[in-house]
Amino acid sequence: MTSLQGKIALVTGASSGFGLAIARTFAAHGARVIVAARREERLQALRDELAARYGSEACAALGMDVRDRNDVRNAFAQIESTGWGAIDIVVNSAGLAAGLEAIQDGVFDNWDRMIETNLNGLLNVTRFALPGMIERGGGQIVQIGSVAGRDAYPGGNVYSATKAAVAMLTRGMRIDLMKSGVRVSNVAPGLAETEFSVVRFGGDTERAKSPYVGIDALTADDVADAVLWVVTRPAHVNIDELVIMPTAQGSANHVHRR
């Protein structure tokens, strides 16, 4: 097992859901975490929380819109200049679904947000993180994919396409990076109750409950636990893909509700 003690981990999407739980879990296991997202007030609160528990060097907060390449470039420059540059682990958790319309009713803005965040955003962060990892002879990138990237479902069209792209990108990265000592993994969860559906349904909190009715959905902590396992394997072990679903979910399309 590889210890996280003293390792530096950058977690995007850390203001909510999986990213938040992953940041807390990593810090609890001794990592120093850089937490990134757009809602900086949430990041500051998380930084204060982790500093109170684990010391002032446990966490750094970094406002960043992953879609904006210059923003990401500047954020990495800031990481470098403040002594947090030797990043060992990146978890690309920033992402979203927007809408659930059939393709013929698709909303262009929603398509753009999903593609720009889930794919371009993940690429931006990964591209700026990799040179340092390669120079240091190792590191790990963990993508948060989805079971939606394995199966299509009604209205999931563009969201599923972004997650299928993440899965294929991870496979391509593995081949490009296998000489470098850098590990790459795709963690693909099923239904998990976070702010994901609130975002998908544009803030409609009632509708956002509907995917989780009659099922014990995954929690963000379940996913953080899986990611912790992925990043604590010995250095010669790469978990290429890890799929995690609620017991009552058989695929992106098959859910047993009570």
Which secondary-structure segment (H or E) carries 187?
strand 182-189
Residue with CB nearest ligand 8X3?
146
13/190 with CB nearer ligand 8X3:
190
Beta pairing class for 32-37 and 8-12 = parallel
Catalytic residue among 54, 153, 159, 212: 159
**Residue 47 binds which entry of ligand NDP, ligand 8X3, none, with Cβ cut-offs from 5 to 8 Å by kind?**
none
Print the binding letters for residues 140-169 with ligand 8X3: x by CB under 6 A, - otherwise: ------xxx-------x-------------
**Residue 25 binds which entry of ligand NDP, ligand 8X3, none, with Cβ cut-offs from 5 to 8 Å by kind?**
none
Residue 33: CB minimum distance to ligand 8X3, A: 23
3-state secondary structure of 213: coil
Cα–Cα distance, 185 to 178 (Å, whole number): 12
**The residue type at 102:** A
Question: Percent helix, strand and coil across the chain, each rounded to 5?
Answer: 45, 15, 35
Residue 117 interacts with ligand NDP (CB under 6 A)?
yes
**Residue 218 near residue 244 (C-beta atoms within 8 A):** yes
Residue 3: CB minimum distance to ligand 8X3, A: 30
212 flagged as catalytic:
no
With CB under 6 A as the contact rule, the residue among 11, 17, 161, 185 that binds ligand NDP is 17
Residue 20, phi-psi category: left (phi > 0), alpha (psi -120 to 50), beta (remainder): alpha
